[in-house]
């Protein structure tokens, strides 16, 4: 999109009664503007969903392979299996933030497409592994090439959608976004550019959207970024643990190998539907905090039941609470830092830092089940993840409280200044005219 394209005029936000930072209700009036978003959706989301499904399948398939005999065939101990999972996340942590910072300069259509191609190649070659050392090498390169896909694609999609249209797309996305601009008319590109600038996603000046180490440092010191990094660590531990070990957990409930893999499907199906519903509602009402809080309450209840129950049927039923609650909360957590960071460098930094924390939690998860917490009850693991869910609840409350206080100060600053032209030297989310999404 052309950063220098003309922007239509907008109503004064104080007079219009529209909450600052929630500007979709006051989009510039161009003919059939809703068709613009549908056009991007129809191009981006089908391919994105397929890529996301395959990436998720690849990340979790080692858990299914374990139940099917991988650990025995490669003569691995529980410790070696955990090490194979850990190796994948080392490059994840190393590349997330720097990759996000260079993505704009290289171009998402080149950078992300290359990563997807290399990741697909390594995934294919994974099927030829016949030794433990070969598995370690393969998992390392998988982490290297797929490590930035989530953060990079979230950042890329945030350049297409206003803040309150983003979470639903993140919940069903994954790749294909590089095709979107190819099919848009000049008028539609100008409309998207105008809406993104109006909602604070893109800076009014192209100069303000350029890379700056000052923006990187400022972002990493913001309390809301640090709070969500902690929540991301907690959620990443739970998310990865369930992705890798759900088949083993179900197998420990008395199901055979094939049955165990089949019985993991229903709770994940519920998680998929719940994720779409809650993401739609979160975008519609513009509330990330309450969405995350309610979903985390659901997973907290699930872990409490799983930890306290003694009957296998009850413990299996607990998966229908803890899996949907955990997986449906991920789009909210991934969207929140993107919503509240601007301009581009700050958004790239916030997302990169958040995903780095998430992947750090994933490393812990590779040791919780089996190596540190034996089957079939996984007592220590379940207790740890229950505590982490409580931690997410506290982080959510803290973040909403902090952002609410910031918004109050911004309203006071706007009342004092009167008009935006009198604001000196503040850009992006520092501006009094950028209101945080709660």
Place 197 in a pLDDT band, splitting at 50, 70 and 90. confident
Q: Which residues are CB-neighbours of 374 under 8 A, at least 6 positions away?
A: none
| CATH architecture designation of domain 13-430 | Up-down Bundle (1.20)
Rounded to the nearest 10 degrees, the angle between the axes of helix 78-106 and helix 344-368 is 170
When mean pLDDT is compared across 47-61, 235-249, 386-400, the lowest value belongs to 47-61
- Write out pLDDT tens, residues 301-337: 999 999 999 999 999 999 999 999 999 999 899 899 9
Whether residue 392 is predicted with pLDDT greater than 80 in this model: the reply is yes
- Write out pLDDT tens, residues 18-52: 334 433 334 444 445 677 888 888 877 666 666 66
Per the CB < 8 A criterion, the answer to whether 236 and 357 are in contact is: yes
In whole angstroms, how far apart are CA 172 and each of 278, 327, 345, 418?
Answer: 12, 12, 25, 41
Structure tokens at 153: 């694609």
The residue-averaged pLDDT of 251-272 equals 85
Q: When comparing pLDDT for 373 and 54, which is higher?
A: 373
Going from N- to C-terminal start, the domains of the chain cover 13-430
Place 185 in a pLDDT band, splitting at 50, 70 and 90. low
Distance CA 94, CA 150 (A): 14
- Write out pLDDT tens, residues 396-415: 999 999 999 999 999 998 88
Whether residue 99 is predicted with pLDDT greater than 80 in this model: the reply is yes
Distance CA 368, CA 245 (A): 10
DSSP helix, strand, coil percent of the chain (3-state; round to 5): 75, 0, 25
> How far does Cα 37 stand from its chain's mean position?
21
Strands (E), 185-327: none
Structure tokens at 154: 């979230």
Whether residue 182 is predicted with pLDDT greater than 90 in this model: the reply is no
Strands (E), 82-137: none
The residue-averaged pLDDT of 265-284 equals 90
DSSP assignment letter at 404: H
Q: Of the segments 63-72, 97-106, 359-368, 415-424, which one has the largest average pLDDT value? A: 359-368
Give the CA radius of gyration of the chain.
22
Distance CA 285, CA 296 (A): 18
For the chain, what is the mean pLDDT? 81
């Amino acid at each position: 999109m052309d950063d220098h394209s003309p922007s239509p005029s907008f109503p004064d936000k104080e007079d219009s009664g529209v909450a600052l930072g929630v500007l979709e209700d006051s989009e510039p009036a161009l003919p059939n503007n809703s068709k613009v978003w549908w056009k991007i959706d129809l191009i981006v989301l089908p391919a994105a969903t397929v890529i996301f499904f395959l990436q998720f399948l690849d990340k979790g398939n080692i858990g299914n392979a374990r139940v099917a005999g991988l650990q025995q065939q490669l003569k691995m101990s529980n410790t070696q299996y955990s090490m194979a999972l850990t190796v994948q996340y080392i490059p994840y942590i190393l590349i997330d933030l720097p990759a996000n910072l260079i993505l704009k300069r290289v171009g998402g259509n080149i950078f992300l497409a290359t990563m997807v191609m290399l990741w697909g190649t390594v995934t294919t070659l994974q099927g030829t592994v016949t030794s433990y050392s070969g598995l370690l090498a393969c998992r390392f390169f998988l982490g290297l090439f797929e490590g930035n896909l989530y953060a990079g694609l979230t950042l890329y999609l945030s350049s297409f959608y206003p803040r309150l249209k983003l979470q639903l797309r993140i919940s069903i996305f994954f790749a294909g976004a590089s095709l979107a601009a190819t099919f848009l008319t000049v008028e539609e590109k100008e409309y998207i550019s105008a809406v993104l600038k109006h909602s604070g996603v893109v800076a009014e000046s192209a100069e303000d959207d350029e890379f700056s180490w000052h923006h990187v440092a400022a972002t990493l010191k913001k309390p809301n970024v640090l709070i969500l990094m902690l929540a991301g660590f907690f959620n990443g531990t739970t998310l990865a643990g369930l992705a890798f070990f759900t088949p083993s957990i179900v197998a420990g409930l008395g199901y055979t190998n094939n049955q165990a893999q089949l019985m993991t499907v229903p709770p994940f199906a519920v998680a998929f539907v719940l994720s779409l519903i809650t993401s739609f509602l979160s975008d519609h009402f513009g509330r990330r905090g309450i969405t995350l809080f309610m979903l985390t309450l659901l997973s907290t209840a699930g872990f409490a039941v799983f930890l306290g129950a003694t009957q296998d049927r009850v413990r299996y039923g607990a998966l229908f609470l803890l899996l949907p609650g955990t997986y449906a909360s991920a789009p909210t957590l991934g969207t929140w830092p993107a919503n509240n960071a601007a301009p581009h460098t700050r958004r790239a930094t916030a997302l990169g830092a958040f995903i780095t924390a998430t992947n750090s939690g994933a490393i812990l998860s590779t040791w919780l089940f089996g190596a540190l917490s034996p089957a079939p009850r996984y007592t220590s693991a379940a207790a740890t993840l229950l505590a982490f869910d409580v931690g997410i609840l506290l982080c959510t409350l803290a973040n909403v409280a902090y952002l609410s206080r910031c918004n109050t100060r911004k309203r006071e600053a706007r009342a004092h200044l009167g008009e935006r032209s009198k604001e000196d030297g503040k850009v992006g989310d520092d501006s009094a005219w950028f209101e945080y999404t709660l």
